[in-house]
Amino acid sequence: IKTTKDFTLTVNDTTVIKVKADGSIEITAPAGIKITTPLITVTGDVVARGVSLDDHTHTGVHGETSDAH
């Protein structure tokens, strides 16, 4: 498929995947996403519930705080 416009996949009146002309991808999965693979590689940060994988810190048992990873 070659297009210069957004491409949308809709299932049961719900837009599930939208590949946008700007190169971004939006995924909506109301029932969840299951990925079965031995390895996932991500370039860039991963943010879950507002917590950045790159910028988060941990508090140690003695109250010390680790550097961001």
- The predicted model scores a pTM of 0.60
What confidence tens digit (pLDDT) does each residue in 6-61 have? 999 999 888 899 999 998 999 999 899 999 999 999 999 999 999 998 888 888 88
The pLDDT of residue 34 is 92
The pLDDT of residue 20 is 92
The pLDDT of residue 62 is 79
**54 within 8 A of 42, measured Cβ to Cβ:** no
